[in-house]
Each structure stands twice: as C-alpha cells, then as structure tokens.
Structure 1
Amino acid sequence: MATPTIPRNADELAEMLADPKQVKDVVSSPEDLKNFITAYANRAQGEGTDLQRLVDEGVQKGMADFLKENGQDIKRPDMAAKKPDPYAAVDASLQGRGLFNQAAEGSKLDGLYNSTGELFRSIARRNELNAEDAGKLASLKNYSSDIPSDGGYLIPETLRSELLRVSLETSVVRPRARVIPMETLRVPFPAIDSTTNVNSVYGGIVGYWTEESGQLTESQARFSRIVLEARKLTGFAKVPSELMQDSLVSFDAFIGQMFPEALSFFEDTAFLTGDGVGKPLGVLNGNAAISVTRTTSSQIQFADVVGMYARMLPQSLSRAVWLASPSAIPQLAQLAMTRGTDGIASPPLWLSGGQAIDNLPMNILGRPVVITEKVPALGSAGDLSLVDFGFYLIGDRQAMQARQSEERYFETDEIAFRIIERVDGRPWLQSAITPANGGSTLSPIVKLAA
C-alpha cells in the first residue's frame, strides 16, 4: 500500500477519513490499519501514554463505524488482531466481593469452559473427546500440579469464584469473616497477643502524657502468630448418567447450585464448631470464647441475653450477630423483661402488635439473629451465641480441583464426582480481654454455657 501521511490531530484525521482513496489505503489489511492507528496515536499523543490507549480505542471505533456506513466488508482490528481479555467477562460482583482473584492458579485457564457443568461433562467423557477438547482438559490436568495434586483437574478461576458466589447465599461464616488468600499450603498470620486493656492496649502499647522536653517512655507490643494450614474438604456426589447425558441445563443446575451449597454447609459446620484436628478450629471452640452461665438449665431467658451482650467487646457491638439453633426459636420468641417487683412481664421482644411468626423482626437488642442448624441444639453450650466474625480468619487456598471417581456404579447407572478445595479457619484473638476499668473479661465471641 502507499505510505499514508500520518495525521497530527483530530482535524487532519477527519480530513483524511473524508477521502475514500486514503481510507482504502489505510484499511487494506488489519495489520496496515493497526500500524496506522499506532503511528497516529504516537504522533498525536505521545507513545506509551494513557491518552494513546484512549485514542487507539476511539479511532478504531470511528473507523469501524465509517466502514460500516460505507458498506466496506472488513473485520474490525480489535476483533481480528487484539488478544481477548480473559477477565473481561468476569462478573464485576465477583471481584467486588473478593471472590475472584486474578492471581489465583485457575486464572490461567479462564475461558476454556462456559460453565462448571460443561467442565464436569468433559471430565466424564474424557475418553470420547476430540483432539481440541482433550487438549483443553489436559491443560487443567497439567496446571493442577501447581497445587497439591489429588489427580484432579484444576477448576478455572471464573468458575471457582462463581461456585463461591452461590455458596455465599447460604453461608453463615464466610460472608462475615476475614478471608486470607493462601499462596502456599501453610501461611503464618500475625495476631496481637492481648489479654488485658489495663494500663496497655493491643498487647503492650502504652500511652504516656509527657511534659515538653520530657523523656519518652518506650513500649513494645507483643505479637504472636496464627498459622493457617490448607485443610482438604472434599465434596462427593453420585449423579444419574441420564441427567448428564440428556440435559446440560439440569446438570449445570445440579453442579452449579447443589455442590457449592453442600460445600458451604460443611465449611460452616467446621468454621463454627470444628475441633481443629484435620479441620478448621471453630469460632465457638477458640480460646477467646467466653461462656456465660445460663439462669435456668436448658432454657434461654432475657437475663441470659443481657449477660451475653454485656460480655461482648464494645468495638464488636456494631458487627456482632446472634447465632441460634432452630430448637431455640420457641424460647427466643417468648423473651420478655420482667418489671420490678410485681412480676409483670413486657410483651415478647419478637412480637409487635400480634404479628405472625414469619413477620417477626429477627433481632435481639438491635443485633441480627441467624437461625442455623450448624450450632448445638437447645440446652447445649453454644445453642445461643453472639459473635463478631471480623475476629475470625479463613485461609483460602483459592484453588479447587474436580475429578471423576474411577469407580463405576453399574447397578444404579450413576457417575461419581468430587470437588476438592483447601481452606482453614482460626479465631484471630487468642484470649478474652480484661477491660481497662477492670471487671469481667470481654470478647468478640460470647456463647451461652450448657
């Protein structure tokens, strides 16, 4: 093509675009058009600037519109030559909620599969795939060696974050806790070694009022370590082969909805009541948890609720939530204050104007109530608790594997699948804190004793 004169500004560019002969020379091939755009951007705005990038995009769009209006049949350069952004299709809500991590192992594989169901179907039919699809699946197998290998296939990051998004709808702990990305299997995390706020705070920071030119007194805070270790949680399910073969939509719904909800159930159970042996240490079992003695055995009374509220760390009062077993609902719905010495009780705290039970305001003393079967039943320690999950750490390896069981269930015509993730959980605070004015200890984790 004839070498075009590169415009210096928008007016010269407009003049050039008005000349069909010059336009024809410029758009004779996608490569020529790309070179022209680069040269124009460099001359008009300077190489390497943000303005150059904006000009590139604007000029490409303008030329594409011009060609479309004049009936030219040529591919837009941004479609033909620009490498697609693998993260452009990621739902912004996933990134905004801290679920999608562009640095995670699975991000290298984004774009290979449109859904988790499609991925699992490929795994199940791996011996029947054509060369292209077999190559995609092999990529997942190869990258799975970057994490502790269970012989599975690494799930692309977009699909992993989508699975987590679904699980958040049913999770108690994960949406409220501090999630720490884990780049390795074992991650130490700093913790403040604080047991008292008498004379110092945050484990040894002391403040002094000092006269002008007076000598400063040194203080040193004590820090400890919490070690998060990636524990393996495996979700296992047997799927009817007809479901996978006959309906990708139904299969997608099962894999994309039921599997993450099931994983979140077992995560929550461990994050709340786990013993820390081969699994996370639950928030209710940490050393910082305070047990409040109940007034009457196997009952929950208003005095118990007030006693628990009074033991909550003040800075946690605006974030704490109540956790209650379903078996505790009848007693919680009848909580009432008794007036003075005449024994007259106030209306139940959950009732207002005789509203139906399903319209009850689910809060106690202004804090939300979460009803969950993942805490102990009525009468057991922790059947009611008040927790600030900002003091609970979740270590997330941010890599999931999928695999099909090699066992065949011929008698039921089912196919078994596994999803493997690696997570850990630990309370951040290691002990209850004595307040500055003395008295009973305080904590962000308060539970009703057995």
Structure 2
Amino acid sequence: MKKKLRLALNLQNFAGESLQELLQTRAEVHEQQKALIDKARAEGRNLTEEEETQFDALETQFIEIEAKIETAQKNQAREDAVAAREAALNQPVAAKYRPTVVNAFGTPVQPEKKDDGGFNNLGELIHAVRFGDPKGRLNNLPIGQGQGGGYGVPEAFHSQILPSRVNAQWSMGVGTEGGYAVPEQFKPDVLMLGAPSAIVRPRAAVLPAGEPPDAKITMPALDQGSNGVYGGVEVQWIGEGAEKPDTSASLKEVSLQPHEVAATTIVTDKLLRNWAAANSFISNLLNKAMMAAEDIAFLTGNGTGKPSGLIGAAGSLAVKRTTANRVVTDDLINMLAGLLPESVGSAVWVANQSLLPEIAKLKDSVGNYIFIKGDATKGIPSTLFGIPIEFTGKVPRIGSKGDIGLYDISYYLIKDGSGPFIAASEHVLFKQNKTVIKVFWNVDGKPWVVEPLTLEDGVTQVSPYVVLDIPQA
C-alpha cells in the first residue's frame, strides 16, 4: 500500500522540471489522491489516519505544483514574446509601404487596421487560450457566449478561419457574441470570389450578423408560380380616362435563424508552443474544413439543425435524365432550357467529380466530342455551354439526383450569426501531450425561390435551381 500510494517527489526534486513535466507531476499527484479515496470508498470506510496524512501531504504538493506551473507558464510566455520580437528585429527592413486603397478623390489612403486583440497572429491567440496569457489580453475578448463557450476571435484573424462573411450586395449592422471573439484582422480583407474550395458563399446573397447576431430574420419570397416571374403583378395598357386595373403580389416568407456548427482539430503541444510556426498550418486546415462544411450544407442540407440545400429546394426544377447512371448532351440541354433566362449570365454548373468521364466524352448528334476536342494539352475546360463548371465531391455521385446541377446562387440566402469563437482543451488527450482545438460559428442558409416559376407564356416552367434527376419511371 505504502509503495503503491507513495507520496509524490519532494518539491526540490521537481523544482527544475519543465512545464510539461510539472503538468505530468500534477496529474500523478491527483491520481494518488484519487486512489486513496477510491480504495476507502470500495471498502466502505473513511480514510485511515495514515491515509489522511498522505492525502494532506499530497494536497500541499498539488498546491505547490500549481504555483510553479503558473510561474512556468508566465516564463514561457515571456520567452515566446522575446523570441518573436527578436525574429522580427532580425528581419530586413521592408520596402516603404505603398497604400493601394484610394478615397473618393483618388488620393491613396492607408486601410484601417483591424482589431487583433493584441495578438501577433491566430497561432499566438490559440497558444494563449491553451497555455494562459500573462499579458491579460484574453480578458478583453468576449467569452462563453456561444453554446460551446470559448473566446471570440478578433476580427483581424477571421480570414484565417472563415471565408468572407459578408457579400457586397448587402449592408447591415454587424455584431459579434459568444466564446472568445476573433479579432478583425483575421477575417478576409476582400470577397473570396476566387477561392477554389468555396462554391456557394462567394456567389450567394449574404446577410451579415446584425444585432442580435443569432436572431431569426424573415425575408419576403415572391409566390410566383403560375402567376409569372414577376410575382403575380398584372401589367395592362390604359386608355385615356379608363379605370386603372388592380395589381396584386402574393408574397411568401423565408425565415433564417443561424445554427451553431463546430470544427475541431488536434495538434501536439510541442507544435502549439511554437505558435509562429503553427499559425499557418492551423489556420489553413481550419479554413478549408469550415468552407467545405458550409458548402456541403448549402448544397445538400435538409434544413434540420442546419441550412437547407439547393438540391432539395422546393423551388428547384428537376429534369429527368435520359439514361440511368449516365449524363448525355440532351440531359444538359434540357437543364439549360429549365434555367431562369435572367440567370444565364450568373449561373454555374456544380458536378460530382465522378461525372468527369461522362462530361469529357459528351458528343453531338453526329458523334463529335463537344467538351474536349481531342487536344490533351489544353486541359479540362472551365465552362460547359459557356457557363462555368465546378467539379467537386460535395454533391451526390453519378446516377443520383443532384449529381449535376445548374444554379444561379445569387438566389440563395445566407444569414451569418455570431462567431467565430475558439476554445482549446488539454484534458481529452492529456497523456498524449496533445491539444484539441475547437472553432465554432453560427450560420443559416435557404433558397430564396420557394417554387418553380412560370414564364410570361403561361406554360414554360423555369427556376434558378435546375437539378438532374433519375430517369422517368
């Protein structure tokens, strides 16, 4: 018993230990205290006098180790700050800053610096969340306001986590709540229209968070249907002195309320301590994962606790394919015929990667290849019938409804909520010396058009969302 529940090493024996060793020693002391209690509970008794003495001695050591951990964390933070400053001072002097932003009179102005919360980059922020921040910068960030807790990320670092949150088509008041807020300089400085991994957000109608950021918002949607693409408004020529006709517009509503979504990743404590090196790795990984998660929800979501996707939209137009598990030229032409005419210039094809062989071998009525014309040096074309095409794994495979779709995504609404927020935990993988990093934010998305539209001829149905379906039964 005495050997198994021996006291932890004397304080002088761990006085020179590293921070990680101190953390490990603290865990061992805790386990010894827990073993004393568990043994007494299993035997249905209180602690013996000897066990109480052992427990009290362990408690004294635990408190002493806690103090040494706090000191070690402060020393580590100082060393990191000095090392970062030294690295910056050793860098060659950069060329004189030349602002590229101009005001209304054409005079260059320096862009306003975004709030960074006092951190050099996202990596240092995560390091502070995980190991503590003796400078007290975390005290100035919002904390614990989201369902998952955490710190609000300062605006300066948002671009390292999320794609652009606001589309230039919309302008509303913006507010941030929940967790630790990310500083402004980490958000994107421009719309990510060229981001290869983001399909929906750069093309959608994006509503910023507003105040309160996670509140439900309701938008009008034209109940167009059989009343024509102009929402049931009848236009008539009026003779002199004749009575003006009545007009009516039947409106439906689209409601959006941001849902919380979280992304997690695991990094070693050793990497995280070197926050300057960890910054690009962590931010790049999180950014791509979070953009992919949004795209999948915006394209295929069922609306239960998440956005409603374009493929299953009530306002979509489903075109039956000619042959099961195939895509032929007639299928694509029929999809083009079902697209809202005004959407041709802003539409995009979204196809599963498994369709690439089918599309590459598309032929006309006399058997000529029409997508790739026999020249392998030119690569895969970026358009199909003059409309951009995106190959992805975010939509269903070949043969399923929605394996290829033709969408005018400007008719898709995205409502941003609070966030992003960040949290870090050592407890889950403590023995492996690893940290779990969680980033979470709030967002909702829904198609704006609620049913297929009927053109002015009163017969032809179209939609800004056209999907290829399975063959006619």
Normalised TM-score (structure 2): 0.66
Q: CA deviation at 1:201?
A: 4.3
**CA, structure 1 residues 205+387, in 2 after alignment: closer, same or farther (shift >3 Å)?**
same
Query: Following the alignment from structure 1 to structure 2, what is the Cα–Cα distance between the partners of residues 375 and 410?
Result: 38
Query: Following the alignment from structure 1 to structure 2, what is the Cα–Cα distance between the partners of residues 406 and 124?
Result: 7
Query: Following the alignment from structure 2 to structure 1, what is the Cα–Cα distance between the partners of residues 128 and 146?
Result: 22
| Map 1:364-403 → 2, pairs under 5 A | 364-403=384-423
Query: Following the alignment from structure 2 to structure 1, what is the Cα–Cα distance between the partners of residues 221 and 248?
Result: 12
| Map 1:23-172 → 2, pairs under 5 A | 110-126=116-132, 129-130=133-134, 133-134=135-136, 136-140=137-141, 143-144=142-143, 147-165=145-163, 168-172=195-199
Counterpart in 2 of 1:192?
221
Is 1:220 aligned to residue 218 of structure 2? no
| Map 1:51-450 → 2, pairs under 5 A | 110-126=116-132, 129-130=133-134, 133-134=135-136, 136-140=137-141, 143-144=142-143, 147-165=145-163, 168-183=195-210, 184=212, 185-196=214-225, 198=227, 201-245=229-273, 247-338=274-365, 344-346=366-368, 348-356=369-377, 359-405=379-425, 407-450=427-470
Q: Which amino acid aligns with 2:312?
A: N
Q: Deviations over 1:217-249 (max 9, x none)?
A: 22132222211111111011111111112x333
Q: CA deviation at 1:149?
A: 4.8
Query: Following the alignment from structure 2 to structure 1, what is the Cα–Cα distance between the partners of residues 386 and 280?
Result: 37
Counterpart in 2 of 1:13?
none
Q: Deviations over 1:65-103 (max 9, x none)?
A: xxxxxxxxxxxxxxxxxxxxxxxx99979xxxxxxxx9x
SS at match of 1:403: strand
Query: Following the alignment from structure 2 to structure 1, what is the Cα–Cα distance between the partners of residues 459 and 322?
Result: 20
Counterpart in 1 of 2:75?
none
Native 8 Å contact 1:121 1:244 kept in 2: yes
Q: CA deviation at 1:367?
A: 0.4
Native 8 Å contact 1:181 1:395 kept in 2: yes
**CA, structure 1 residues 376+222, in 2 after alignment: closer, same or farther (shift >3 Å)?**
same
Query: Following the alignment from structure 1 to structure 2, what is the Cα–Cα distance between the partners of residues 295 and 116?
Result: 51
Q: CA deviation at 1:398?
A: 4.8
SS at match of 1:203: coil
Query: Following the alignment from structure 2 to structure 1, what is the Cα–Cα distance between the partners of residues 305 and 221?
Result: 25
Q: CA-atom RMSD, angstroms?
A: 2.5
Native 8 Å contact 1:194 1:201 kept in 2: no
Query: Following the alignment from structure 1 to structure 2, what is the Cα–Cα distance between the partners of residues 92 and 153?
Result: 32
SS at match of 1:243: helix
Bigger shift: residues 388-397 or 154-163: 154-163
Query: Following the alignment from structure 2 to structure 1, what is the Cα–Cα distance between the partners of residues 427 and 383?
Result: 48
Q: CA deviation at 1:260?
A: 1.1
Native 8 Å contact 1:279 1:424 kept in 2: yes
Native 8 Å contact 2:229 2:455 kept in 1: no
Bigger shift: residues 161-170 or 267-276: 161-170
Identity fraction in percent: 29
Native 8 Å contact 1:194 1:202 kept in 2: no
Query: Following the alignment from structure 2 to structure 1, what is the Cα–Cα distance between the partners of residues 432 and 301?
Result: 34
Query: Following the alignment from structure 1 to structure 2, what is the Cα–Cα distance between the partners of residues 205 and 92?
Result: 44
Query: Following the alignment from structure 1 to structure 2, what is the Cα–Cα distance between the partners of residues 269 and 178?
Result: 17
Query: Following the alignment from structure 1 to structure 2, what is the Cα–Cα distance between the partners of residues 360 and 154?
Result: 42
Q: CA deviation at 1:197?
A: 6.0
Q: Which amino acid aligns with 2:224?
A: T
Q: CA deviation at 1:289?
A: 1.1
**CA, structure 1 residues 282+91, in 2 after alignment: closer, same or farther (shift >3 Å)?**
farther
Native 8 Å contact 1:193 1:222 kept in 2: yes
Q: Which amino acid aligns with 2:140?
A: S
Q: Deviations over 1:283-311 (max 9, x none)?
A: 11110111111111110000000010000
**Unaligned stretches of 5+ in structure 2?**
1-97, 103-111, 164-187
Native 8 Å contact 2:162 2:290 kept in 1: no
Query: Following the alignment from structure 2 to structure 1, what is the Cα–Cα distance between the partners of residues 311 and 101?
Result: 34
Native 8 Å contact 1:197 1:436 kept in 2: no
Native 8 Å contact 2:426 2:435 kept in 1: no
Q: CA deviation at 1:360?
A: 2.5
**CA, structure 1 residues 420+326, in 2 after alignment: closer, same or farther (shift >3 Å)?**
same
Query: Following the alignment from structure 2 to structure 1, what is the Cα–Cα distance between the partners of residues 460 and 324?
Result: 22
Query: Following the alignment from structure 1 to structure 2, what is the Cα–Cα distance between the partners of residues 319 and 354?
Result: 28
Q: Deviations over 1:40-76 (max 9, x none)?
A: xxxxxxxxxxxxxxxxxxxxxxxxxxxxxxxxxxxxx
SS at match of 1:352: coil
